[in-house]
Amino acid sequence: MNLENRKMPLLAAAAIAVVVFLQVPVLVVMLAAFSKTAYLTIPPRGLTFHWFDVVLRDPEYLSAAWTSVWLAGASTAAALVLGLIAAYAIHRRMLPGATALTSLFMAPLILPSVVLGVALLQYYTLTGLRGSPFGLWIAHVVITVPYVVRASLSSLAAVDESLEDAARVLGADGLTSFRLVTLPLVKPGLVAGGLFAFITSLDNVPVSVFLLSASQTTLPVKIFTSVEQGVDPSVAAVSTLLIVATGIALLLAERWTGFHKHV
């Protein structure tokens, strides 16, 4: 089929143009981070690592980054456990109303995030959870769990159920047969689902921005609010660090799980 593409140079040109267009803002941010001037210039006037120094010494950026990472890690961990066991119960038809349950578990993907954010703002104000790390954590479990449920259901569907039955015939109890037979088979899909959950939490603004206390912020919310007060190259520097981290994570994920097949 390669032949078909080679016969159509216009198609190739259009395709490459779009792929280049997709990288433009990314490259612009990375270039702007090395600018010597206090405002953004591209190409940068002079080369400096000054803004990286500013960011890495800024306690606000550091604590925001730390909050983002523990929040994403803790939400992903909880989502993986809750999502996998619920998906397992649905998949093995251990419950009535499996379709309705699946819809409910996937619903946080469909509801606009900003709507969930404001609904939780009122709810947490009423229940006294506003500004608490616990409230933020369970909110992030809700928005990340659909990715785990989806990945678990599709991975479980590919597992031959008779394998687990065979383990039981050989004397393994339910938990052991699940742990030794099913879990290793669904692991690649689960890793990809977990990565999506992690990225979703790390990326989230529309829910977090309504629930954070004044003293606590996540990295994307910090960038989001600081842009409203004006743009300087330190924002570009912190963005560049995120770009590099994302690129490395994508390459590692591709090597480990063939990530692009799970997208």
Does 214 bind another protein (CB under 8 A)? Our answer is no
Q: How many CB atoms lie within 10 A of CB 200?
A: 21
Which range binds another protein by CB under 8 A, 7-15, 52-60, 152-160, 179-187?
Answer: 7-15
Distance CA 186, CA 70 (A): 25
Which residue in the set 59, 112, 128, 171 belongs to the binding site for another protein (CB under 8 A)? 112
Q: For the segment 62-81, give every residue that binds another protein (CB under 8 A).
A: none
Does 156 bind another protein (CB under 8 A)? Our answer is no
Q: For the segment 124-153, give every residue that binds another protein (CB under 8 A).
A: 126, 138-139, 141-142, 145, 149
Does 86 bind another protein (CB under 8 A)? Our answer is yes
Does 89 bind another protein (CB under 8 A)? Our answer is yes
Which residue in the set 51, 64, 83, 189 belongs to the binding site for another protein (CB under 8 A)? 83
Count residues contacting another protein (CB under 8 A)?
87
Which residue in the set 59, 94, 99, 214 belongs to the binding site for another protein (CB under 8 A)? 94
Task: Please state the closest distance from residue 84 (CB atom) to another protein, in A.
Answer: 9
Task: Please state the closest distance from residue 141 (CB atom) to another protein, in A.
Answer: 7
Which residue in the set 72, 120, 181, 197 belongs to the binding site for another protein (CB under 8 A)? 120
Which range binds another protein by CB under 8 A, 20-28, 54-62, 159-167, 181-189?
Answer: 20-28
Does 167 bind another protein (CB under 8 A)? Our answer is no
Does 247 bind another protein (CB under 8 A)? Our answer is yes
Which residue in the set 107, 157, 166, 252 belongs to the binding site for another protein (CB under 8 A)? 107
DSSP line for the chain = -HHHHHT-HHHHHHHHHHHHHHHHHHHHHHHHTT-SSSS--SS-SS---HHHHHHHH-HHHHHHHHHHHHHHHHHHHHHHHHHHHHHHHHHTT-SS-HHHHHHHHHHHHHS-HHHHHHHHHHHHHHHT-TT-HHHHHHHHHHHHHHHHHHHHHHHHHTS-HHHHHHHHHTT--HHHHIIIIIHHHHHHHHHHHHHHHHHHHHH--TTHHHH--TT---HHHHHHHHHHT---HHHHHHHHHHHHHHHHHHHHHHHHH-GGGG-
Does 215 bind another protein (CB under 8 A)? Our answer is no
- For 189, the token pair is 């899909």
Does 227 bind another protein (CB under 8 A)? Our answer is yes
